[in-house]
Amino acid sequence: MHIFKSITALFIREFQITYRNFTDILSILLFFLLGVIIFVFAIGPNKEIFDEINVSIIWTLILLSNALSIKKYFQDDFDDNSIVLFHISGISYEIIVIIKIISIWIFIQIPFTLIIPLSYILLNLDFNNIKIFYISFLIGSSIIACITSISSSMNLLNKKNFAIGSLIIMIFSIPVIIFSVNLNYISEEIVTAQIKILIGIMFLFFAITPWVSAFCIKLGLQNK
Amino acid sequence: MKFLINPNQFNKFSNIIFKPILILTIVLLILGLLYALLLSPEDYQQGSTVRIMYIHVPSAWLSLFIFFIMTIYSIIGLSFKIPFSFIVNSAVTPIGASFTLICIITGSMWGKPMWGTWWVWDARLTSVAILLFLYLIIMFLKNSLANTSAGEKITAILIIVGSINLPIIKFSVDWWNTLHQPASISKISSPSIDLSMLIPLLIMTIAFTLMGLVIAIIRIKAEILERKHR
């Protein structure tokens, strides 16, 4: 039972840390909203253009705002060595990665579900289609969380080049963007097929992310 | 086969084979270019532009082949802890990136007169562009990680994760209905290309592969020397 106790303790710690730095998450959400507004100003008042690209705008900005959260994954714990303390208390690095992904997914992606209707209003979207968007968002955001975790653990030792982490996120999330945006425009007969492809990608990333991230964290700790 | 994983053996072996390969490369390159640019027939539809193929196809093949080699060396290097594989990785990444760039540039030069546009967002073209970005990100990541021994292992992981793009590039013309034509010489038994074009294409492919090998040998030897003096 000891391990469950430490896992719960780790969960509670994550929630406390994120709760105390709640302005961080608010800034990410504000980045998303401001991005939508910037897009609106950049395109101009032409309504036909909006009707064609509104979902793409929302998905692009979700991806970019997730790329901002890259430092929240392992960097602080790595810098003050608390990740070693978790490991000593009996949790393997793989489980630490999974806990981190789940807690950050809850604290960053769930607020997005609250703010997406607001962007729907800003972009004049039809609320009848929001169900499909939420399905694609719940699957796609968990894939992006996994990719962000991989990228974050790869850049633990990187003190010089901040942008490369976002580059890694963007290049691996190309299939997510393609299928999630496509889901909102295709006819109803092939929606389930596309969702199945997305779920397949999600399980692929669920399978590889803990191992890859944990391996990178171990390498980083060895060479610190 | 020890020269594939041991730097000293590699140095000895490459000293023996370097000059023959260099001479063979130059001979084949001259022969292939003469055959391809002067003697090979014009296409009945495309005219002389079909000759871009003799540069485009070999560099495309090499851009995939080099990433494949990097993937195999990354797996070997991470699982058996062989440092030579990381030397090979960091030496051949720029070669792969430049061949991918050559492939994209010649492809768009071919696409302009044939398709009427420099670039389309077709599955094959997009996946090759992603390959170029992957090469660049791999180079940047290795440069930005200060501690090299951890950096090259993390880069190897990135190579293994990124190798998922290789089958997508290879089969993109079969899976999706694309503007880019399907492969012509993958079917060994009955290639859908005439012999008078197939022979210069094969010569050029061998010449390009040997050219990549020559550059790789030079770069790997330089990398080994650099690490000895560090």
Backbone angles phi, psi at B181, to 5 degrees: -75, 155
Backbone angles phi, psi at A126, to 5 degrees: -85, 125
3-state per-residue secondary structure call for chain B: CHHHCCHHHHHHHHHHHHHHHHHHHHHHHHHHHHHHHHHCCCECCCEHHHHHHHHHHHHHHHHHHHHHHHHHHHHHHHHHCCHHHHHHHHHHHHHHHHHHHHHHHHHHHHHHHHHCCCCCCCHHHHHHHHHHHHHHHHHHHHHHCCCHHHHHHHHHHHHHHHCCHHHHHHHHHHHCCCCCCCCCCCCCCCCCCCHHHHHHHHHHHHHHHHHHHHHHHHHHHHHHHHHHCC
B143-200 pLDDT, tens digit per residue, is: 888 667 888 889 999 999 999 888 888 888 777 777 777 776 655 556 677 777 888 8
**ipTM score assigned to the predicted complex:** 0.86
**Interchain contact B176–A (C-beta under 8 A):** no
Q: Which residues of chain A fall short of a pLDDT of 70?
A: 1
Positive or negative, the Cα torsion across B44, B171, A139, A28? Answer: negative
Q: What is the mean pLDDT of residues B113-126?
A: 86
Check CB contact under 8 Å for A150 and B161.
Answer: yes
Most B CBs within 10 Å: which of A166, A167, A205, as the mutation test of the B interface? A167
Check CB contact under 8 Å for A157 and B151.
Answer: yes
Q: What is the pTM of this model?
A: 0.89
Among chain B residues, CA nearest to A169: B137
In this complex, the residue of B133, B149, B151 whose CB is nearest that of residue A171 is B133
Most B CBs within 10 Å: which of A171, A208, A213, as the mutation test of the B interface? A171
Between CA B11 and CA B17 the distance in angstroms is 10
Among chain B residues, CA nearest to A150: B158
Q: How far is A132 from chain B (nearest CA, A)?
A: 25
What residues of A are in contact with residue B146 (Cβ under 8 Å)? 157-160
SS3 B1: coil
Helix, strand, coil % in chain B, rounded to nearest 5: 80, 0, 20
Between CA B198 and CA A188 the distance in angstroms is 46
Residue type for A58, please?
A: I
A120-169 pLDDT, tens digit per residue, is: 888 888 788 888 888 889 999 999 999 999 999 988 888 887 888 899 99
SS3 A106: helix
**Interchain contact A223–B (C-beta under 8 A):** yes
Check CB contact under 8 Å for B161 and A158.
Answer: no
